[in-house]
Structure 1
Amino acid sequence: MSTTPLRRVVYQVASSLDGFIATEDGGYDWIPMDPDIDFTALVARFDTLVMGRLTYDVMLRHEGGVSEGGVYGKPTIVFSRTLDPAAHPNVTVTAEDPAAVVARLKREPGGDIWLFGGGALFRQLADAHLVDVVEIAVIPVLLGSGIPLMPRGNRMKLALRASQLYSGTGTVLLTYDVVPAANTPG
């Protein structure tokens, strides 16, 4: 009897050196467009995106909207208790518990799931032991304040799998596997 491996949830995010993923107002103009980073290949690794409402709002403001098929043409789930799903036909808006939705997604056939943002959703899914990989593109800038990589809460142990320096911008991509706690599934 063969079993299908669970899909992985990957928190792939850019962070300032002092641990912020965006400015106070959600801005990310401090993230350089590094020509050595193959963004098309990065997006191709995932077949589903999940994000919180605040991240989705930033996408709408700064990217000018979402195309048919979702963010970057991928099925996208936006967790929100306030958005009207009918007003956002190119994504799936749900008020369901994110942990329950993502646990269900992980059991379905498919590729990796991109936890696109933000920090609060990362915290919630990490606390539910649903995040498998953390990939942080550390940008050489100190913001001083902003939206944190992860809000306060439980510790999360990580094991470094890979690192890559993009010398043109000084960005360092760090890839970590999440080390499950002794009393958690998986």
Structure 2
Amino acid sequence: MRKLVYYVASTIDGFIAAPDGSYDFFDLQPDPAGPLVKRWPQTFPTFAHQQLGIDRPQGRFDTVLMGRATYEPALRLGVTSPYAHLKQYVFARSLPPSDDPAVEIVSGDPVTFVRDLKGRPGADIWLCGGGQLAGQLVSEVDEWLVKVNPVVAGSGIPLVDHPFTPQHLTLVDTTPAGRGVVLLHYTR
């Protein structure tokens, strides 16, 4: 069965974006030779592949899930398919169906959809954001890959927007990723 993997950048105090949804306070210039580009090439937007030296973004994912607020910055730039190398599902009740064949807008229940998706043939599924969608899918996330950035934000969009229900995870690996970023890998 396919796994749902929440792979996301976070501040030390657990925020994935500013209160307005922006994330430009993160260092967005990865080292092209660094571990994030080498190990997770599929998690970079298609438009950045040439700049980062990514020829064929092979790896464990063939699908990406994102919420409306995660998808909208690309739309504002005129990019309808930010991860054209992956099948893209955007969870939104307020967006019309996408004209791009690589993007499907999902207005139904995320949990039901993901359970069905996990049962279909394919590679693992990347949940790239945001905090509200992660909060709805917290029970379905099999692995957590959190890029902890050396930033304290104080407030913003939380890593997981979910009622208080502690879930204990097992640390699998820690990887220094350069510029003070540490990748923490947890499983259920």
- Give the TM-score normalised by the residue count of structure 1: 0.82
Matched residues in 2 for 1:152 and 1:103: separation?
19
* 1:60 positional shift: 2.5
Instruction: Give RMSD over aligned pairs.
Output: 1.8
Alignment of 1:93 onto 2:108 = no
Tell me by how many angstroms 1:64 deviates: 4.6
Secondary structure of 1:71's match? Answer: coil
Q: Percent identity, please.
A: 43
Question: Residue deviations 1:127-166, cap 9 Å, x none?
Answer: xx21100110000011111101112412221100000112
Q: Which runs of no fewer than 5 residues in structure 2 stay unpaired?
A: 43-58
Q: In structure 2, how many angstroms separate the alpha carbons of the residues matched to 1:120 and 1:109?
A: 27
Unaligned runs of 5+ in 1: 1-5, 179-186
Q: 1:34, CA displacement in angstroms?
A: 2.9
- The equivalent position to 1:56 in structure 2, one of 68, 71, 76, is 71
Return the alpha-carbon distance in structure 1 between the equivalents of residues 90 and 153 of structure 2.
Answer: 27
Query: C-alpha distance in 2, partners of 1:14/1:86?
Result: 26
Give matches, 1:33-182, under 5 Å: 33-35=29-31, 36-39=34-37, 41-42=39-40, 43=42, 44-61=59-76, 64-67=78-81, 71-87=83-99, 89-126=101-138, 129-153=139-163, 154-166=165-177, 168-178=178-188
**Cα displacement string for residues 50-107 of structure 1 (whole angstroms, at most 9, x for unaligned residues):** 111111113333x65133xx62421101111111104555410021111111000100
Q: Secondary structure at the match of 1:120?
A: helix
- With over 3 angstroms needed to count, the CA separation of the structure-2 counterparts of 1:41 and 1:59, relative to structure 1, is farther
TM-score by length of 2: 0.82
How many residues are treated as equivalent by the alignment? 167
Matched, 1:20 2:15: yes
Inter-partner Cα distance in structure 1 for 2:68 and 2:95: 8
- 1-structure distance, mates of 2:78, 2:61: 22
1:26, 1:58 within 8 Å by CA — same for their partners in 2?
Answer: no
Q: CA deviation at 1:30?
A: 2.0
Q: Residue in 1 aligned with 2:2?
A: 7
